[in-house]
Amino acid sequence: MPPQLKTLLPLLAVFICIFLVARHFLIPESFGKYGHYRADSMDETAAIPINYVGKEACAECHDTETAKLASDLHSVLSCEICHGPGALHVADAEKGILLKPGTREFCGTCHSINPARRTEVINQIDTKEHHPEKDNCIDCHNPHAVWELKE
Amino acid sequence: MGTERINDTRRNFLRKSAMLAGTLLATSVTKPFTAVIFAANQPDKTKPWYGIGIDIEKCIGCGNCAKACKLENDVPKEPFYFRSWVEQYAIKNDGTVKVESPNGGIDGFTQTVAAEDIFKTFFVPKMCNHCAKSPCTQVCPVGATYESPEGIALVDDKYCIGCRYCIQACPYGCRYLHPVKNTVDKCTLCYHRIKKGLSPACVEVCPTGARIYGDLNDKEGLLNKFLKEHHCHVLKPNLNTGSKLFYNGLSAEVR
């Protein structure tokens, strides 16, 4: 072995030691538990609060609307499709303001005629031509029980 | 050359054999690191292994999945980045294909191709495929994106350096750089919801039941029932990504 290498060897050993010590402190504990990543980040992702609470949560306070909805063809719809995410509202009914859309554009996102939609799956109407005498769809159809028509 | 080989000394031969055996022994020591070396874990058959099913025949293109995804996961409304979105395909009689996704479908769709020109038309909801051999997680230089043991591709936004390499690597275009956090963001299959026993937001709001998610290891589960009863395809099967997003009624034109 060349003599200059011999003098450098201890230096190299010191560097390796520093590297190992630094590595020990820099790498988070959960890194590499399941693979080449921080396992704790899964728990962090899982801890994010939810915004959509689901029908059951609404049913606790709004049993009439829930029963209405279940009685007709819109029973397949979630409350939050129309009213928006309800987590805030469930936590504090006064504060969380929910949407109540019943316009031709809104109902049209599902019901306007489009050849890409199958009629077996959903009945479609021309949102402009269908009963133009009233402005909004909910002026006739009850959004919760669609075949309950107002007249 | 042949003679040279034969003339090799016995000592040399033994030395080479010992070296080979040593290397083999050394690699066997790295067994705990196979996940690093092969970038993919073998699924554990006793634990959940999530997949998604989408029934194109049932999709009415209302865009509620895309909307709910944004609201549930605080994805900025604008600029238009999506974790989940819907595309409207219209295949014309002359064979050309028109793909549209105005605002990702959030505000609904209108058919822009005249009815007499349409050969067929349908909606394709898209989202992360949560591939079993995901090309995106393999390229991360800092170990910030990975496949969880449940088979969900996640991003560790504390570790992500925003190099965008994984955005390039995803063949399905399912990743974007979050404009506020400056880290990569993507569908987590609503990991925070499924861990609480709820379904992902897009599945929750789908009005026609076109979306199904479930455990592929649960042979009696909803997803396996869906796969049994329908002829399902994945996107870009030629890339061998091990996609776990199964489409019923997928046309060959869809990319």
Return the percentage of chain A with pLDDT > 90, whole number.
60
Residue in B109, B149, B207 closest to A76 by CB: B207
Return the amino acid letter for A6: K
Q: Is the pLDDT of residue B38 over 50?
A: no
pLDDT tops 80 at residue B3: no
Report, as an integer, the average pLDDT of B68-78: 89
Is the Cβ pair B108, A108 closer than 8 Å? Answer: yes
The pLDDT value given to residue A31: 87
Where do the domains of chain B lie, and which CATH numbers do they carry? Answer: 46-84+127-250 (3.30.70.20)
The first and second tokens of residue B111, run together, are: 């058919």
Whether B36 has a pLDDT exceeding 70, the answer reads no
**ipTM of the complex model:** 0.85
Check if A3 contacts B (Cβ < 8 Å): no
- Partners of A101 on chain B (C-beta within 8 Å) are none
Statement: residue B2 has pLDDT above 60: no
Whether residue B101 lies within 8 A of chain A, CB to CB, comes out as: no
B159 touches chain A (CB under 8 A): yes
Residue B188 backbone zone (phi > 0: left; psi -120 to 50: alpha; other: beta):
alpha
Q: Please give the Cα distance from A63 to B121 (Å, whole number).
A: 40
Is a pLDDT exceeding 90 seen at residue A96?
A: no
For the segment B188-201, the average pLDDT, to the nearest whole number, is 94
- Over residues B138-179, the pLDDT tens digits come to 999 999 999 998 999 999 999 999 999 999 999 999 999 999
- Residues A18, B135 contacting (CB under 8 angstroms): no
pLDDT digits (tens, 9 = 90+) for B133-145: 899 999 999 999 9
Radius of gyration of chain A (CA): 31
B205–A contact, CB cutoff 8 A: yes
Q: Read off the pTM.
A: 0.87
